[in-house]
Protein backbone atom coordinates (compact mmCIF):
# COMPACT_ATOMS: atom_id res chain seq x y z
CA UNK A 1 0.00 0.00 0.00
CA UNK A 2 1.38 3.41 -0.92
CA UNK A 3 1.98 6.17 1.61
CA UNK A 4 -0.82 8.22 0.09
CA UNK A 5 -3.20 5.26 0.22
CA UNK A 6 -2.34 4.70 3.88
CA UNK A 7 -3.10 8.33 4.66
CA UNK A 8 -6.45 8.14 2.86
CA UNK A 9 -7.33 4.96 4.75
CA UNK A 10 -6.78 6.51 8.17
CA UNK A 11 -8.64 9.66 7.19
CA UNK A 12 -11.55 7.71 5.72
CA UNK A 13 -11.87 5.63 8.87
CA UNK A 14 -12.09 8.80 10.90
CA UNK A 15 -14.62 10.38 8.55
CA UNK A 16 -16.94 7.39 9.02
CA UNK A 17 -17.27 8.14 12.74
CA UNK A 18 -19.73 10.76 13.89
CA UNK A 19 -19.74 12.70 17.14
CA UNK A 20 -21.81 11.44 20.06
CA UNK A 21 -24.33 14.25 19.52
CA UNK A 22 -24.79 13.24 15.89
CA UNK A 23 -25.26 9.60 16.80
CA UNK A 24 -27.78 10.44 19.51
CA UNK A 25 -29.82 12.49 17.05
CA UNK A 26 -29.96 9.58 14.62
CA UNK A 27 -30.79 6.83 17.13
CA UNK A 28 -33.95 4.87 16.47
CA UNK A 29 -35.28 2.07 18.66
CA UNK A 30 -32.19 2.14 20.85
CA UNK A 31 -29.56 2.03 18.08
CA UNK A 32 -28.16 4.22 15.37
CA UNK A 33 -30.16 4.60 12.19
CA UNK A 34 -29.08 2.78 9.07
CA UNK A 35 -27.39 -0.53 8.43
CA UNK A 36 -25.66 -2.43 11.21
CA UNK A 37 -21.91 -1.90 10.96
CA UNK A 38 -19.75 -5.01 10.91
CA UNK A 39 -15.95 -5.18 10.97
CA UNK A 40 -14.97 -8.52 9.41
CA UNK A 41 -11.44 -9.76 10.07
CA UNK A 42 -9.35 -12.42 8.36
CA UNK A 43 -6.35 -14.02 10.05
CA UNK A 44 -3.57 -16.42 9.11
CA UNK A 45 -5.67 -19.54 8.70
CA UNK A 46 -6.06 -21.21 5.32
CA UNK A 47 -9.81 -20.78 5.82
CA UNK A 48 -9.26 -17.14 4.84
CA UNK A 49 -9.51 -18.37 1.24
CA UNK A 50 -13.27 -18.06 1.90
CA UNK A 51 -12.97 -14.31 2.48
CA UNK A 52 -15.16 -13.41 -0.50
CA UNK A 53 -17.91 -15.76 0.67
CA UNK A 54 -17.77 -14.51 4.25
CA UNK A 55 -18.04 -10.87 3.17
CA UNK A 56 -20.82 -11.69 0.71
CA UNK A 57 -22.78 -13.19 3.60
CA UNK A 58 -23.09 -9.70 5.07
CA UNK A 59 -23.71 -7.85 1.83
CA UNK A 60 -26.33 -10.18 0.36
CA UNK A 61 -29.51 -9.97 2.41
CA UNK A 62 -31.37 -12.05 -0.18
CA UNK A 63 -29.21 -15.09 0.58
CA UNK A 64 -31.78 -17.88 0.89
CA UNK A 65 -29.78 -19.50 3.68
CA UNK A 66 -30.82 -16.61 5.91
CA UNK A 67 -34.27 -15.99 7.33
CA UNK A 68 -35.93 -13.58 4.90
CA UNK A 69 -38.34 -12.49 7.62
CA UNK A 70 -35.33 -10.96 9.40
CA UNK A 71 -33.31 -9.71 6.47
CA UNK A 72 -34.81 -9.57 3.00
CA UNK A 73 -32.97 -6.72 1.38
CA UNK A 74 -29.50 -6.37 -0.15
CA UNK A 75 -26.72 -4.92 2.02
CA UNK A 76 -28.34 -5.32 5.45
CA UNK A 77 -24.92 -4.50 6.90
CA UNK A 78 -22.30 -1.84 6.35
CA UNK A 79 -19.00 -3.72 6.10
CA UNK A 80 -15.35 -2.91 6.65
CA UNK A 81 -12.62 -5.54 6.55
CA UNK A 82 -9.26 -6.13 8.22
CA UNK A 83 -6.79 -8.50 6.57
CA UNK A 84 -3.74 -9.37 8.69
CA UNK A 85 -0.32 -9.65 7.08
CA UNK A 86 -0.36 -13.45 7.26
CA UNK A 87 -3.91 -13.59 5.87
CA UNK A 88 -2.63 -11.82 2.74
CA UNK A 89 -1.26 -15.22 1.71
CA UNK A 90 -4.85 -16.33 1.21
CA UNK A 91 -6.69 -13.08 0.39
CA UNK A 92 -6.19 -10.78 -2.58
CA UNK A 93 -6.73 -7.45 -0.82
CA UNK A 94 -7.26 -5.40 -3.96
CA UNK A 95 -9.71 -7.90 -5.44
CA UNK A 96 -11.67 -8.00 -2.19
CA UNK A 97 -11.76 -4.20 -2.12
CA UNK A 98 -12.94 -4.11 -5.73
CA UNK A 99 -15.75 -6.58 -5.02
CA UNK A 100 -16.99 -4.65 -2.00
CA UNK A 101 -16.99 -1.33 -3.86
CA UNK A 102 -18.84 -2.96 -6.75
CA UNK A 103 -21.58 -4.21 -4.41
CA UNK A 104 -22.09 -0.77 -2.90
CA UNK A 105 -22.13 0.88 -6.31
CA UNK A 106 -24.70 -1.62 -7.58
CA UNK A 107 -26.93 -0.96 -4.58
CA UNK A 108 -26.72 2.80 -5.06
CA UNK A 109 -27.60 2.45 -8.76
CA UNK A 110 -30.57 0.17 -8.05
CA UNK A 111 -31.96 1.86 -4.94
CA UNK A 112 -31.18 5.50 -5.67
CA UNK A 113 -29.22 8.08 -3.72
CA UNK A 114 -31.95 8.72 -1.12
CA UNK A 115 -32.28 5.06 -0.15
CA UNK A 116 -28.50 4.74 -0.12
CA UNK A 117 -28.18 7.70 2.26
CA UNK A 118 -30.86 6.25 4.52
CA UNK A 119 -29.13 2.88 4.65
CA UNK A 120 -25.67 4.37 5.13
CA UNK A 121 -26.16 7.73 6.89
CA UNK A 122 -22.44 8.06 7.63
CA UNK A 123 -21.79 8.05 3.91
CA UNK A 124 -18.91 6.43 2.06
CA UNK A 125 -16.20 8.97 1.20
CA UNK A 126 -14.70 8.52 -2.28
CA UNK A 127 -11.41 7.47 -0.68
CA UNK A 128 -12.96 4.93 1.72
CA UNK A 129 -10.71 1.84 1.36
CA UNK A 130 -13.21 -0.65 2.89
CA UNK A 131 -10.32 -3.10 3.40
CA UNK A 132 -7.66 -2.28 6.01
CA UNK A 133 -4.30 -3.96 6.60
CA UNK A 134 -1.62 -3.81 9.27
CA UNK A 135 0.40 -1.25 7.33
CA UNK A 136 -2.60 1.10 7.39
CA UNK A 137 -2.26 1.57 11.14
CA UNK A 138 0.44 4.10 11.97
CA UNK A 139 1.91 4.98 8.59
CA UNK A 140 0.49 8.49 8.37
CA UNK A 141 0.17 9.41 12.05
CA UNK A 142 2.27 12.53 12.64
CA UNK A 143 0.91 14.47 15.61
CA UNK A 144 -1.57 14.42 18.46
CA UNK A 145 -5.04 14.75 17.01
CA UNK A 146 -4.37 12.73 13.86
CA UNK A 147 -6.74 9.76 13.48
CA UNK A 148 -5.54 6.39 14.81
CA UNK A 149 -7.00 3.66 12.62
CA UNK A 150 -7.69 1.00 15.26
CA UNK A 151 -9.48 3.50 17.48
CA UNK A 152 -11.57 4.87 14.60
CA UNK A 153 -12.58 1.35 13.51
CA UNK A 154 -13.41 0.42 17.10
CA UNK A 155 -15.72 3.43 17.34
CA UNK A 156 -17.28 2.72 13.95
CA UNK A 157 -18.20 -0.95 14.36
CA UNK A 158 -21.33 -2.35 15.99
CA UNK A 159 -19.92 -5.87 15.74
CA UNK A 160 -16.50 -7.45 15.31
CA UNK A 161 -16.33 -10.73 13.36
CA UNK A 162 -13.10 -12.74 13.25
CA UNK A 163 -13.61 -15.53 10.72
CA UNK A 164 -11.40 -17.43 10.58
CA UNK A 165 -9.78 -17.06 13.98
CA UNK A 166 -6.37 -18.74 13.76
CA UNK A 167 -4.72 -20.44 16.73
CA UNK A 168 -2.07 -17.70 16.78
CA UNK A 169 -4.53 -14.81 16.82
CA UNK A 170 -6.66 -16.65 19.41
CA UNK A 171 -3.64 -16.84 21.71
CA UNK A 172 -2.94 -13.14 21.19
CA UNK A 173 -6.53 -12.13 21.89
CA UNK A 174 -6.74 -14.32 25.00
CA UNK A 175 -3.67 -12.64 26.43
CA UNK A 176 -4.48 -9.10 25.37
CA UNK A 177 -1.57 -8.75 22.95
CA UNK A 178 -1.95 -5.99 20.39
CA UNK A 179 0.68 -6.19 17.68
CA UNK A 180 -1.65 -6.09 14.66
CA UNK A 181 -4.47 -3.82 13.58
CA UNK A 182 -7.01 -6.51 14.49
CA UNK A 183 -5.62 -7.19 17.95
CA UNK A 184 -5.40 -3.44 18.63
CA UNK A 185 -9.11 -3.11 17.79
CA UNK A 186 -9.81 -6.07 20.08
CA UNK A 187 -7.77 -4.61 22.94
CA UNK A 188 -9.63 -1.29 22.61
CA UNK A 189 -13.09 -2.89 22.24
CA UNK A 190 -15.89 -1.55 24.47
CA UNK A 191 -16.76 -4.70 26.40
CA UNK A 192 -18.91 -2.68 28.80
CA UNK A 193 -21.39 -2.02 25.98
CA UNK A 194 -23.46 -5.20 25.59
CA UNK A 195 -24.58 -4.11 22.13
CA UNK A 196 -20.99 -4.23 20.84
CA UNK A 197 -20.89 -7.92 19.93
CA UNK A 198 -17.85 -9.98 18.99
CA UNK A 199 -18.04 -13.22 16.96
CA UNK A 200 -15.10 -15.56 16.53
CA UNK A 201 -15.03 -18.59 14.23
CA UNK A 202 -11.95 -20.68 15.07
CA UNK A 203 -10.23 -22.60 12.28
CA UNK A 204 -7.17 -24.79 12.77
CA UNK A 205 -5.84 -28.33 12.52
CA UNK A 206 -7.59 -30.89 14.73
CA UNK A 207 -4.45 -31.39 16.83
CA UNK A 208 -4.33 -27.65 17.50
CA UNK A 209 -8.06 -27.54 18.20
CA UNK A 210 -7.67 -30.35 20.75
CA UNK A 211 -4.75 -28.63 22.48
CA UNK A 212 -5.47 -27.63 26.09
CA UNK A 213 -4.20 -24.17 25.16
CA UNK A 214 -7.13 -23.75 22.76
CA UNK A 215 -9.75 -24.56 25.40
CA UNK A 216 -8.01 -22.24 27.86
CA UNK A 217 -7.81 -19.38 25.39
CA UNK A 218 -11.40 -19.75 24.20
CA UNK A 219 -12.56 -19.74 27.82
CA UNK A 220 -10.82 -16.40 28.28
CA UNK A 221 -12.68 -14.94 25.30
CA UNK A 222 -16.03 -16.50 26.24
CA UNK A 223 -15.80 -14.95 29.70
CA UNK A 224 -16.84 -11.67 28.11
CA UNK A 225 -20.68 -11.59 27.91
CA UNK A 226 -20.73 -10.07 24.42
CA UNK A 227 -18.31 -12.58 22.83
CA UNK A 228 -19.86 -15.41 20.81
CA UNK A 229 -17.92 -18.48 19.66
CA UNK A 230 -19.01 -20.08 16.38
CA UNK A 231 -17.76 -23.65 16.68
CA UNK A 232 -15.63 -25.27 13.96
CA UNK A 233 -16.88 -28.35 12.14
CA UNK A 234 -15.54 -31.77 11.23
CA UNK A 235 -14.36 -32.33 7.66
CA UNK A 236 -11.27 -33.00 5.57
CA UNK A 237 -8.84 -30.24 6.46
CA UNK A 238 -6.35 -28.41 4.23
CA UNK A 239 -3.55 -30.75 5.37
CA UNK A 240 -5.61 -33.82 4.43
CA UNK A 241 -6.46 -34.84 7.99
CA UNK A 242 -10.08 -35.52 8.85
CA UNK A 243 -11.37 -34.04 12.08
CA UNK A 244 -12.83 -31.05 13.89
CA UNK A 245 -11.19 -27.71 13.16
CA UNK A 246 -12.63 -26.44 9.87
CA UNK A 247 -14.24 -23.01 10.02
CA UNK A 248 -18.03 -22.97 10.15
CA UNK A 249 -19.67 -22.18 6.83
CA UNK A 250 -20.00 -18.54 5.76
CA UNK A 251 -23.79 -19.04 5.95
CA UNK A 252 -23.56 -20.15 9.59
CA UNK A 253 -21.37 -17.16 10.43
CA UNK A 254 -23.74 -14.72 8.76
CA UNK A 255 -26.75 -16.32 10.47
CA UNK A 256 -25.12 -16.01 13.90
CA UNK A 257 -24.58 -12.28 13.40
CA UNK A 258 -28.01 -11.71 11.83
CA UNK A 259 -29.80 -13.45 14.69
CA UNK A 260 -27.84 -11.44 17.23
CA UNK A 261 -28.16 -8.05 15.56
CA UNK A 262 -31.79 -8.37 14.44
CA UNK A 263 -33.29 -10.03 17.51
CA UNK A 264 -33.75 -8.81 21.05
CA UNK A 265 -31.56 -11.55 22.48
CA UNK A 266 -28.66 -13.41 20.90
CA UNK A 267 -27.52 -16.93 21.67
CA UNK A 268 -24.08 -17.36 23.25
CA UNK A 269 -22.93 -20.16 20.96
CA UNK A 270 -23.54 -21.27 17.38
CA UNK A 271 -22.79 -24.40 15.39
Q: What is the 3-state secondary structure (H, E, C) of the chain?
A: CCHHHHHHHHHHHHHCCCCHHHHHHHEECCEECCCEEEEEEECCCHHHHHHHHHHHHHHCCCCCCCCCCCCCCCCCEEEEEEECCHHHHCCCHHHHHHHHHHHHHHHHHHHCHHHHHHHCCCCCCCCCCCEEEHHHCCCCCCCCCCCCHHHHHHHHCCEEEEEEECHHHHHHHHCCCCCCHHHHHHHHCCCCCCCCEEEEEECCCHHHHCCHHHHHHHHHHHCCCCEEEECCEEEECCCCCEEEEECCCHHHHHHHHHHHHCCCCCCCEEC
Given 36, 184, 228, 239, the catalytic residue: 239
Catalytic residue among 36, 41, 150, 217: 150
**Residues 69, 27: contact at Cβ < 8 Å?**
no
41 is catalytic: no
Residue positions annotated with a catalytic role: 150, 239
Amino acid sequence: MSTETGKRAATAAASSVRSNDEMERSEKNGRRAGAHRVLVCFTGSVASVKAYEVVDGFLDGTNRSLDDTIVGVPLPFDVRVIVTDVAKRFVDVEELRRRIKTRYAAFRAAAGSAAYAERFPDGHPPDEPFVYTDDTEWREWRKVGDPVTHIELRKWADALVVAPLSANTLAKMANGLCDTLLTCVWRAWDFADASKSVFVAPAMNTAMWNSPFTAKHLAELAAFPNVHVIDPVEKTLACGDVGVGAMASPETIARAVVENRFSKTGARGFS
